[in-house]
Amino acid sequence: MPESVYKVIELIGTSTESWEKAAANAVGQAAKTLRDLRVAEVVKLDMQLDGKGQVEAYRAKLNVSFKFEGS
């Protein structure tokens, strides 16, 4: 296998529907500006609540890696 170098960034995606959609939103947005995405690892799930304790949004924190060009 040839040697490669990857960069890892942290993203937080949100959704009013689910954690799965929140994660997919983060990856989908990253794919618009980054090439060669390799792995997305969900590292934390949480929820944003309103003043009455109702869920306003699901949030997913991800580590996303992509290959450096030329490596």
Residue 19: per-residue pLDDT? 98
Residue with tokens 């954690």: 19
Decide if pLDDT at 71 tops 60: no
Residue 52: per-residue pLDDT? 97
Residue 40: per-residue pLDDT? 97
Domains along the sequence of the chain with CATH? 6-67 (3.30.1660.10)
| Rounded-to-10 torsion of CA 21, 19, 8, 27 | 0
pTM attached to this predicted model: 0.85
Q: Are 58 and 21 in contact (CB under 8 A)?
A: yes
How confident is the model over 24-59, as pLDDT tens digits?
Answer: 999 999 999 999 999 999 999 999 999 999 999 999
Residue 11: per-residue pLDDT? 98
Degrees (nearest 5) of the Cα angle 13, 7, 18? Answer: 15
